[in-house]
Amino acid sequence: MDRQQGSSVAVIGGGPAGLIAAELLSAQGRCVTVYERMPTFGRKLLIAGRGGLNLTHSEPLERFKTRYGEAADRIAPCLDAFPPAALIAWAEDLGQPTFVGSSGRVFPQARKASPLLRAWLRRLADQGVDLQPRAEWLGWDEASALVFRDRPPVRPDAVILALGGASWPKLGSTGMWAQALRAKGVAVEPFRPANCGFVTAWSETFRTRFAGEPLKPLALSFEGRTIRGEAVVTAYGLEGGGIYALSAGLREAIAREGRAVLELDLRPDASEAQLARRLARPRGGQSLANFLRKAANLPPVAVNLIREAHGGAVPDDLAHAVKHVPVVLTDSRGLDRAISSAGGVAWSEVDERLMLKLLPGVFVAGEMLDWEAPTGGYLLQACFATGAAAAQGVLAL
């Protein structure tokens, strides 16, 4: 394959992974075309930025690398080559200075995705990247040319596939690309919801009264792992950052056993012994709810959650009941409601450059690969890092 400047690269997918690959390749003189099925680019990035675009996280890189579960060893070299510091510098070079929030998360000062995306698309246009919206990729023809709906076939020198996973399909990540790759013999792991809410059987009274109420401060425990975070009661069950951080284990337990028992600590800032001393005071004429509100600083949603967990009653050992609230989860929300997805192209199918072993010259980046991570900047960082790695793979051909 041609090493010279000017060789053509087709990037299929106009999200962060595809766009950063296009930027890096065009900066090295490659002729890059980005094909995007949707009418505009970066749609999922824009939605993610509505509540504040969490670009990355400020924690030390070695700890950062552990956030990717079973895929951590494969993601690590990508993060070494394009670490959080590189992503922050990239954003600032686009005129989008960043700041570190109290949780260690990194955001643009504008907190929105739209200013960054506009500046990014201008840079890509200035570098000569050909941005092609409404270009739906269908696979390859018999001559191994790329096939698009209502467009002529294309035969670039290299291809980067960055079509996303299978969450938020309305924004373009449908996972339909898996059919084209499986037809070529590429192993694609089944898609599963990640960073998602979970279903539990609330009573009608609890659901009606408390749906939308936050649970904080909170510690959540499952299978020996405990994290501090937040959750929100919903009509169907629970969602929120603390739930998302445990979602992989919860999802797999439900798949194995039909349910998962999550344990909530409603007062993580106090030990059980400390809480027991507070709750040993005489109640007098106070209702139990009033007593728990004053002595343990529990809001009504927390008191009633304890009742839910124990069939409507509150155990005599109040301190233990507050610190150990079991919630039985029976299902995860579907892919259409999940923030991200697990599954995708199996790591065994790509080499260290992220090139498909069965399809030389074809690289894979972003959520198409089989990895997952919690929210907090880890998702976007890995999309950028794998996009950059795929671009480096093309340059090394």
Task: Report pLDDT digits (tens) over 206-251.
Answer: 999 999 999 999 999 999 999 999 999 999 999 999 999 999 999 9
Burial label for 116, CB within 10 Å (0-12, 13-18, 19+), is buried
As a whole number, the mean pLDDT across the chain is 94
- Mean predicted confidence (pLDDT) in 275-290: 88
Given a cut of 70, whether residue 6 has pLDDT beyond it is no
Contact at 8 Å (CB) between 32 and 23? no
Do residues 210 and 185 share a domain?
Answer: no
Distance CA 274, CA 206 (A): 29
Largest CA distance in the chain: 85
Q: Which of 304, 332, 360 is the last residue of a domain?
A: 332
Q: Which of 278, 312, 332 is the last residue of a domain?
A: 332
Beta strands in 17-145 (DSSP E): 31-35, 56-57, 98-100, 105-108, 130-132, 137-140
Do residues 188 and 236 share a domain?
Answer: no
pLDDT of residue 169: 84
DSSP 8-state code for residue 356:
B
- When pLDDT is cut at 50, 70 and 90, the band that residue 1 belongs to is very low
Q: Report pLDDT digits (tens) over 88-143.
A: 999 999 999 999 998 899 999 998 899 999 999 999 999 999 999 999 999 999 99
Contact at 8 Å (CB) between 196 and 247? yes
Does residue 2 lie in a domain region?
no
Do residues 309 and 365 share a domain?
Answer: no
Burial label for 285, CB within 10 Å (0-12, 13-18, 19+), is exposed
Does residue 90 lie in a domain region?
yes
Given a cut of 70, whether residue 23 has pLDDT beyond it is yes
Do residues 210 and 309 share a domain?
Answer: yes
Given a cut of 50, whether residue 304 has pLDDT beyond it is yes
Whether the bond into 217 is cis, omega within 30 of 0: yes
Do residues 327 and 369 share a domain?
Answer: no
Do residues 49 and 160 share a domain?
Answer: yes
Do residues 38 and 107 share a domain?
Answer: yes
In which residue are the tokens 């990540």 written? Answer: 173
Tell me the β-bridge partners of 151.
none
Contact at 8 Å (CB) between 342 and 194? yes
Does residue 373 lie in a domain region?
yes
Given a cut of 90, whether residue 272 has pLDDT beyond it is yes
Do residues 373 and 244 share a domain?
Answer: no
Those residues whose C-beta lies under 8 Å from the C-beta of residue 175, and which sit 6 or more positions away, are: 164, 165, 166, 169, 191, 335, 341, 344
Residue closest to 45 by CA, chosen among 379, 387, 388: 379
Does residue 103 lie in a domain region?
yes
In which residue are the tokens 């792992």 written? Answer: 225
Do residues 310 and 384 share a domain?
Answer: no
Do residues 157 and 229 share a domain?
Answer: no
- When pLDDT is cut at 50, 70 and 90, the band that residue 203 belongs to is very high
| CATH number, domain containing residue 156 | 3.50.50.60
pLDDT of residue 127: 97
Does residue 236 lie in a domain region?
yes
Residue closest to 266 by CA, chosen among 304, 316, 211: 304
pLDDT of residue 52: 84
Distance CA 154, CA 71 (A): 33
Share of the chain above pLDDT 90, in %: 86
Q: Within 13 Å of residue 173, how many CA atoms lie on the same side as its CB?
A: 30
Residue closest to 104 by CA, chosen among 303, 377, 316, 306: 377
- Mean predicted confidence (pLDDT) in 65-71: 95
Does residue 259 lie in a domain region?
yes
**Domain interval for residue 75:** 8-192+340-395
Does residue 1 lie in a domain region?
no
Do residues 153 and 205 share a domain?
Answer: no
In which residue are the tokens 């998302």 written? Answer: 244
pLDDT of residue 3: 41
CA 192-337-342 angle, to 5 degrees, is: 20
* Domains in the chain, number: 2
Q: Report pLDDT digits (tens) over 372-392.
A: 999 999 999 999 999 999 999
Distance of CA 10 to the CA centre of its chain: 26
Residue closest to 55 by CA, chosen among 120, 122, 124, 126: 120
Do residues 83 and 29 share a domain?
Answer: yes
Q: Which of 314, 332, 350 is the last residue of a domain?
A: 332
Higher-pLDDT residue of 233 and 297 is 233
Tell me the β-bridge partners of 345.
188, 369
Does residue 176 lie in a domain region?
yes
Given a cut of 90, whether residue 49 has pLDDT beyond it is no
- Mean predicted confidence (pLDDT) in 272-284: 90
Structure tokens at 218: 């909170």
